[in-house]
A = this chain, B = another copy of it.
C-alpha cells in the first residue's frame, strides 16, 4: 500500500473505505474493521485509523456502538448520496481540469472515448 505523500493519509483511507461502502463490499449495517484491524490492513498508525472513523462518522457514513465496534450506516439514501457525491466530484474535477487546459467538453469526451489515451493536442496558442 502506497500513499500519496502530498495528501494526508487519513483522507486517502477515507476515500478507499467510502468506495468499499459504495460498492457494497462493506454492506449497510455491516461491522467495519476495528481501529486496530484497520491500522494493520492499511499499515497506518492506530491514531490515523481512529481519525478515519471519526471523520466518516461525522459525515454520517458510519456509527459506533459502544463496546461493539463501528458499523456502516443503515441509511440507504445516505449511501446512495455518497455515491452520487463521489461521482459528481470526479466529473467536476475532470471537466474543470480539462477546461483549464483549454480543452472543450466535447474534445474531453472524445479523448475519454478513445481508451488508447493518445492525445494529439492542437492549440498551444
Q: How far is the CB of A84 from chain B (nearest CB, A)?
A: 5
**Interface contact B100-A117, CB-CB below 8 Å:** no
The DSSP consensus for interface residues of chain A is: helix
Give chain B residues whose Cβ lies under 8 Å from the Cβ of A11: 6
**Interface contact B87-A121, CB-CB below 8 Å:** yes
**Interface contact A115-B125, CB-CB below 8 Å:** no
How many residues on chain A are close to B (CB under 8 Å)?
Answer: 55
Task: Assess whether A41 is interfacial by the CB under 8 Å rule.
Answer: no
| 30 A-B pairs with C-beta separation under 8 A | A3-B66, A5-B66, A19-B100, A22-B124, A23-B100, A23-B101, A23-B102, A23-B125, A45-B67, A80-B121, A83-B101, A83-B121, A83-B124, A84-B119, A87-B103, A87-B111, A88-B115, A90-B94, A90-B97, A91-B94, A91-B115, A93-B94, A94-B94, A95-B116, A105-B115, A105-B116, A105-B119, A105-B125, A108-B112, A112-B112
**6 more A-B contacts (CB under 8 A) besides A27-B125, A105-B125?**
A5-B64, A22-B101, A84-B119, A90-B97, A90-B101, A93-B93
